Structure 1
Amino acid sequence: MFNRKFHIWLEKYFYQPEFFELIISALLLPFSAIYYCIVWIKFKLAKPIKFDIPVISVGNLVLGGSGKTPLTKALFNEFSHKYKTFIILRGYKRESKDMQIVALNGDIKCDIATSGDEAMEYATNLQNANVIVSNDRKIAINEAIKLGAKLVILDDGFGKADIYKLNILLKPAINPRLNFTIPSGVYRYPKSFYNLADIILSSSDINRQTTIINPCHKMVLMTAIANPSRLEFIFNKCVGREFFADHHKFSKFECENILKKYNADSLLVTQKDYVKIKDFGLSVSILDLKTTILPNLANKIEIFIKNYKNSDTIHQKFKKEKYAKKQ
């Protein structure tokens, strides 16, 4: 219970701070300054390695979700029929260590404890999925190349400044009130680092469509995602809401108690949460978020892939276009 309340307070602290939160933020500014310097030095000293195949990174600058997973799915669906595509991610809060192949040509190679929830979401939701989790993304990229990869998508790869890649940054749907780096603000990379992106996307740049699979009359929303306020559009369709810390591992007993508490017909969950409870045998409704990328974005990425050997020039072209938009 304390854990849930603390994470709800954190969201308020980062996005809707009041007087008390602003005082805490001000007191933590010296630590934010130190953190800022460390991150800046890391990026400044990094010497990016260029692999034999193109690498695309989907990332953001803030803590928590900005829609990286749906966009990564959309990119895989767009390009995997042309190029053998691998999704590589850290596999946050997985119980395994080192590199793990989660899915190969649609064949799931491990359980969710080994993969982590986000990797298993990719493995179960994408046709002919190729998914690898690894703390060292360079090792994973080399393994993907051995397995025949022609394109790699890094989920949350912006911070890997030592990898040469096309950097796509997503802006959050809700703008933070404070523009400081953590712990005084929600930025894990300075806001000025948007200038390092090749492509910057906001919610208006992506087509998103949400449907409910197996809708019921009395659904209770149960979710363990970052910034659950992103699901506010669905609140009025639910008899109740239960928020947990990001990547929370649900138990069957916990889920049954939530159903009883609200006398609900089903649990309404995201795809990310569903992969953790699908074997519990409970009545479940699923928020299915489908993202499609607009032709302009698809064309830019296609240009990068086809001209990868001369991609330095492509990077410069994208940055000139981005600068021209600001003028």
Structure 2
Amino acid sequence: MPAVVTFFENLYYRPKWYHWAAAFLLLPFSILYASIMWIRRRIVRRRRFKLPIIGVGNLLVGGSGKTPMTITLAKRYEKAAVVLRGYGRKSRGLVVVSRWGRIESDVETSGDEAMLLARSLPDATIIVAEDRIEAIEKAHAMGATIVFLDDAFSKVGIEKFEILLYPAKTPNILPLPSGPFREFPSEKKFADLVLVEGRDFERIVTCEGCDEPMLLVTAIANPQRLEPFLPKGRIKGRLIRPDHAWFDTNEIERAMQIAGVKKILTTQKDAVKLETSGFDMALLTLRLRIEPTVFDAIERYVERFDTQRPAAAPT
């Protein structure tokens, strides 16, 4: 992984004393950026829709469990659609990745997260689009009765029930680029639910097929968060790429030869890009344990929304 990416990941999630010099130099840009976001959140007019919108997001860059949270919540509803940007995809515009469980796209067109959602939600519709409003309208036209927005907290122009995922520890509370926060941390007050990891939800990771020496292959944000879940003594090498990056099979083969292994270990998000590669793969599977009060709060919103029947969105 590029050294600059590693440096900023360490600055954001594992800062040492020498990282703070760079954070201090970048601080004027951080204050300017966060101030613009502060103003934007207060002046942008929010658009309302005729069906409930559940936003799942975070304030920090990098992985926070948004996708597994979205999967867990969307499974509870019939005719649910999930809308997301589709970062890393090799396409543009609106793409229907799956239509009520029937997958209509390949992973290069959809992106890794969207394909993982499509595989994990066999009864839902998954749509990727730069324009989330266009995608919500498409989902509604297709018959969706509820829409989940993945990575949604920054989408301030959409009226929705805001679920904000928050880490248990935040060693660096500065905004980008000095720290990992997309906005001032105080902006979490705009969320309807703030779910703290370790209190409101917990990650449960299982290592499937981890029965021999392996090469870890992954392209996720902050990959060091995998360390507590890796089988001890089985990881003989690592091939780490930036978040959403695509893999070169020749590079993986060379890394396997150097490590002296015949098997790779990867995540569910990475596996959708590697499933046709022919490699023998072990898998880190992730599910969430969520406090029942979270489901109750969402259900109350959905029931209240149905009662209020909001007017049509302005044109």
TM range (shorter): over 0.9
Rounded to whole Å, the distance in 1 between the matches of 2:283 and 2:269 is 10
Match of 1:318 in 2: none
CA contact (8 A) 1:216 1:265 kept: no
- Distance in 2 between the 1:284 and 1:6 partners? 29
Offset at 1:206? 1.8
Residues 285-300 of structure 1: pairs in structure 2 closer than 5 A: 285-300=282-297
What does residue 323 of structure 1 align with?
none
2:262 to 265, 272, 280: 265
The equivalent position to 2:35 in structure 1, one of 34, 37, 43, is 37
Query: Which residue of structure 2 lines up, in the alignment, with residue 90 of structure 1?
Result: 85
Match of 2:17 among 19, 30, 33: 19
Instruction: State the distance in 1 between where 2:203 and 2:173 align.
Output: 27
Partner of 1:316: none
Residues 75 and 293 of structure 1 are in contact (CA less than 8 Å); yes or no, is this contact kept in structure 2? no
Q: How far is the alpha carbon of 1:242 from its aligned partner?
A: 2.6
State whether structure 2 residue 272 is matched by structure 1 residue 275. Answer: yes
1:69 maps to 2:63: no
What TM-score do you get using the length of structure 2 for normalisation?
0.93
Structure 1 Cα separation of the partners of residues 162 and 79 of structure 2 = 20
Deviation >3 Å, runs of 4+: 309-312
Q: Does 1:123 align with 2:121?
A: no
Q: Who is 2:313 aligned against?
A: none
Give the aligned CA root-mean-square deviation in angstroms. Answer: 1.7
1:104 to 99, 105, 108: 99
Percent identity over the alignment?
38
Count matched residues: 306
CA distance in 1, matches of 2:248, 2:308: 47
Question: Distance between the aligned counterparts of 2:206 and 2:63, measured in 1?
Answer: 19
User: Which AA in structure 2 matches 1:198?
Assistant: D
Displacement of 1:9 in angstroms is 1.7
Following the alignment from structure 1 to structure 2, what is the Cα–Cα distance between the partners of residues 72 and 156?
9
Task: Check conservation: 1:88, 1:134, Cα contact below 8 A.
Answer: yes
Q: Which consecutive residues of structure 2, in runs of 5 or more, have no partner in the other structure?
A: 310-315
- Displacement of 1:110 in angstroms is 1.2
Partner in structure 2 of residue 179 of structure 1? 173
Gaps spanning 5+ residues in structure 1: where?
A: 313-327
8 Å CA contact retained: 1:87, 1:153: yes
Tell me the equivalent position of 2:207: 212
Give the distance between the partners of 1:281 and 1:36, measured in 2 at CA: 45
Cα deviation for residue 265 of structure 1 reads 3.1
Q: Which has the higher helix share?
A: 1
Checking the alignment, whether the CA contact within 8 Å between 1:65 and 1:172 is kept in structure 2 is no
Please give the alpha-carbon distance, in whole angstroms, between the structure 1 residues aligned to 2:124 and 2:145: 14
